[in-house]
Amino acid sequence: MRRSGILLALLVLPLYVPVLVFGAGAVAASAQGFDASGALLLLAAGLVVSLLLAPLTAAAAIRIANA
């Protein structure tokens, strides 16, 4: 069971990196008085894509678990 936790962490880690990069970029731009809308729009686009793919991913996971 320990190995599956490590594997899950390695699979999920690349999904966190863009959120951290664009979020930190938006905060830094806002703190310096620049427009942060570009980074925030990229974060919003990632959210929309994630919301669209989540049901498909969940269905595939359920199908694999029941097989």
At a CB cut-off of 8 Å and minimum separation 6, what does 30 contact?
36
End-to-end CA distance of the chain: 20
**What is the per-residue pLDDT across 10-65, written as a single tens digit (0 to 9) for each?**
888 888 999 999 999 999 999 999 999 999 999 999 999 999 999 999 999 999 99
- Domain residue spans of the chain: 2-66
pTM for the model stands at 0.76
